[in-house]
Amino acid sequence: MTPIVIGLIGIVAVMLGVGFYVSRKVKGDSVNYIVAGRGLILPLAAATLMAQSLDSNATLGNTDLVASAGFWAGAALPVGLATCLFLTGLFFAKPMNRMNLVTLPDFYRRKYGRVVEVLSSGVMLLAYAFLLAGNLVAGGYLFQIFLGFDYTIGVVAIAAIIFSYTVAGGLFSVAYTDVIQAGIALVGSLALIVYVATNYGITVPSGMGPTAFGQLTNPAQGAYINWASIIALGLGDIVAIDFMERVFAADDPETAQKACFIGSAGTLIIGIPFSVVALSMPSILSSIGVQSGSEAMLYTLLQTGVPTWLAILVLGGIVAASFSTGDGAILGTSAVLARNVVGIRVDENAPDDEHEAADADDDLVDTDADKLLTTTRIMAVPVTVLGVFFALQVAQTGMLLLLAFDVMLAALLVPFVFGLFKPDFATRQAALASILAGSLTRLVLFALVPTTYAIPNSLLYIQNPWFTPAFDGLPTFIAPALALVTYVGVAAVTEDAEVERTSRARTTAAEPTDD
């Protein structure tokens, strides 16, 4: 029981305690559970958006990428995430908050119907399995390095911890623990860069720093991959179920918008210092005679190159970041499974007594409780198991984050934007064709390209002579472009028929009945 282990146990205990304590606010109500009763005030909404943005991929994965490929390879993660929150606040937060949705696939149901709702839900579930896995990977490495456990045991253990308080308190537990998590991550990030700068100095290897713009202009230096990272997160994360869940939960549209802007700034303030420190890590470890592999280099630095108190703080921030995104992924995907795939509805606009549990103090899974609440909690089990499976198959952090939102960008952004801002041009046929074209194109290219974001594709690669690592990054642009062309083409052909169908449906609904 080293001081680092004791400190981490203390941080985890605090988060568990807070998560279980505020779970009482659920009161057996699925709307409370999934969107915190739509009552998050600005500090809570901003903290939970910032914490959800800054996961272990954007901290630990960030440093690994910078150390191996340059500043922009890792900084692309917080830059992309911050861009997403800024764009969400600018264009989407207010109208989406006003719609009184419970989950993001509810939007696709309202605009395009049940089939599109289920299809979009399937894409989100796949993407969020990757996202959850990336955060479990960081926890697995942490347990392995600092506790001496097997990596597999570490992944399962951190999954079980996140699962426990998420199932208990839903978004209430997530939001209140996110305040702690965001605070720890902020203090840890700033303390780390100050310590490194004052004790070792910031070392920028030639061609690796933030002014080495070849990383953004020269494909040989990773420009395709770096821009793909920024675009996948900056645009693909707009249709993130966990971000939008928090937008829905804000107490009014103005709060939702301001929370996005604050979260965007906080993501940069916390994430960029990790990128800067990573530039110096190889020289720091070399100067103190420590060898490190390319994976989890930050963990090696914290073990050997900084004081114990700082190691506890930074590791606490990474654990907190992993928890904050992991709990949001479990909650969001289990709600989507229960509500949008299984099809259990609770009228979110009904009076509380019409969808509240008969006895809020009953067990967590109670057959007398709100059926959506019960089913959402049950669905958290397969969601968590799937995340653990991917974490054991692909022990990478940053790549899994990027792949998750690469898929979302390819499949879901185009019908989302047209459905929100061009409803007269939004047809079911166009949405279906666009989702299928974008997602299938991205998955086929994933299987054919030997690397994904510079990481060897060990998950699903079909050997072929046509696609080489030089093609890496381009699928991020090709798939959504094809989805856009498909949507516009199909919508142009089906627009008149859709308008006629909608008009006929409205006329039928307005006609008096014999009853």
CATH of the domain at 207: 1.20.1730.10
Report if residue 30 sits inside a domain.
Answer: yes
Q: What gap in Å lies between CA 229 and CA 75, rounded to an integer?
A: 9
Report if residue 64 sits inside a domain.
Answer: yes
| Bigger pLDDT: 187 vs 62 | 187
Give percent above pLDDT 70 in the chain: 88
Quote the pLDDT of residue 370.
76
282-309: per-residue pLDDT in tens? 888 888 877 765 456 787 888 888 898 8
- Label residue 347 by pLDDT band (50, 70, 90): low
Q: What gap in Å lies between CA 302 and CA 191, rounded to an integer?
A: 12
**Half-sphere exposure at residue 105, Cβ-oriented, CA atoms within 13 angstroms:** 28
384-406: per-residue pLDDT in tens? 998 888 888 766 655 666 777 88
Q: Domain range for residue 155?
A: 3-348+371-399
230-248: per-residue pLDDT in tens? 998 899 889 988 889 899 9
pTM: 0.85
- Label residue 143 by pLDDT band (50, 70, 90): confident
Q: Please, what is the average pLDDT of the chain?
A: 83
Report if residue 436 sits inside a domain.
Answer: no
Residue type (1 letter), 136: L
- Label residue 375 by pLDDT band (50, 70, 90): confident
Q: Is the pLDDT confidence value at 415 over 90?
A: yes
Q: Is the pLDDT confidence value at 369 over 70?
A: no
> Which residue from 313, 302, 294 is spatially nearest to 277, judged by alpha carbons?
302
Report if residue 135 sits inside a domain.
Answer: yes
Quote the pLDDT of residue 502.
59
Q: Is the pLDDT confidence value at 7 over 60?
A: yes
Phi, psi of 468 (to 5 degrees): -115, 175
38-57: per-residue pLDDT in tens? 888 999 899 888 887 777 66
Quote the pLDDT of residue 271.
87
Quote the pLDDT of residue 441.
94
86-139: per-residue pLDDT in tens? 999 999 999 999 998 989 999 999 999 999 999 999 999 888 888 888 778 877
Quote the pLDDT of residue 34.
82
Q: Taking the alpha carbons of 74, 76, 80, 82 in that order, is the dihedral positive or negative?
A: positive
Burial degree of 317 (CB within 10 A; 0-12, 13-18, 19+): buried
Quote the pLDDT of residue 127.
84
> Which residue from 383, 386, 75 is spatially nearest to 233, judged by alpha carbons?
75
Span 357-365, mean pLDDT? 37
Q: Is the pLDDT confidence value at 256 over 90?
A: yes
Quote the pLDDT of residue 56.
67
Number of residues in the chain: 515
Quote the pLDDT of residue 295.
52
Q: How many domains does the chain have?
A: 1
CB 53 within 8 A of CB 82: yes
69-82: per-residue pLDDT in tens? 889 988 998 999 99
Residue type (1 letter), 202: I
In the chain, helix, strand, coil percent, each to 5?
80, 0, 20
Lowest mean per-residue pLDDT among 147-151, 193-197, 388-392: 147-151
Report if residue 267 sits inside a domain.
Answer: yes
Helix (H, G, I), strand (E, B) or coil at 436: helix
- Label residue 367 by pLDDT band (50, 70, 90): very low
Report if residue 79 sits inside a domain.
Answer: yes
The 10 Å Cβ neighbour count of residue 308 is: 12
